[in-house]
Amino acid sequence: MLLRKLIFNMHVSKYDGFYFLPGNQEDELELSFYSFDGELANSKKVESNNPIGDIWHVAFFTKDDKGEPLFDYSFEAIFSDPEVYIKNLCGMGLFGCVLRKTDKSVKWFNDYLDKVKNRVTIMKLK
């Protein structure tokens, strides 16, 4: 059991977050992982005080009747492996972003949400 937990932790610790987007098929998700550089690379992760895992920011988007992106919901959660959680949403019509919570992530995540929501608003005005 300890070895399995170590393997999960090694995999999850290799990235700061990922975007999940609809794939080519209806029941497909494409995951795009990223790691921060610069100032954000030196962020200290917020301890969850829970042996299960780290705290993560999550944002969900859906599509409206016209197929345009629509903000759905954002929240924070403790995940041992957020990739597994997102993969279980395959086929639900959701896409978005998952980001490990750090001492500097709240501003980045809020800026991300604002930018995406503003782009969606501009798309609807066109």
Residue 81 tokens, joined:
């492996």
Residue 105 tokens, joined:
């992530």
Q: What is the pLDDT of residues 43-85, one digit of tens each?
A: 777 777 888 889 999 999 998 888 888 899 999 999 988 999 9
> What are the distances in angstroms from CA 117 to CA 16, 44, 56, 68?
22, 27, 20, 12
Q: Please give the tally of structural domains in the chain.
A: 1
Q: What is the pLDDT of residues 13-45, one digit of tens each?
A: 678 999 998 878 777 888 999 888 877 777 777
pTM of the model: 0.81
Res 2 pLDDT > 80: no
Between 107 and 4, residue with greater pLDDT: 107
Q: Mean pLDDT over residues 103-125, rounded?
A: 82
Res 6 pLDDT > 50: no
Q: Which segment of 1-10, 16-25, 76-85, 98-107 scores lowest on mean pLDDT? A: 1-10
Burial class (CB in 10 A: 0-12, 13-18, 19+), 85: middle
Dihedral angle computed from the Cα positions of residues 31, 86, 16 and 51, in that order, rounded to the nearest 10 degrees: -150
Provide the residue range defining the domain that includes 121. 2-125
Describe the strand order of the beta sheet including 29-34 as a list of residue ranges.
29-34, 17-22, 95-100, 54-63, 69-79
What is residue 23's DSSP assignment? Answer: -
CA nearest 86: which of 13, 9, 12?
12
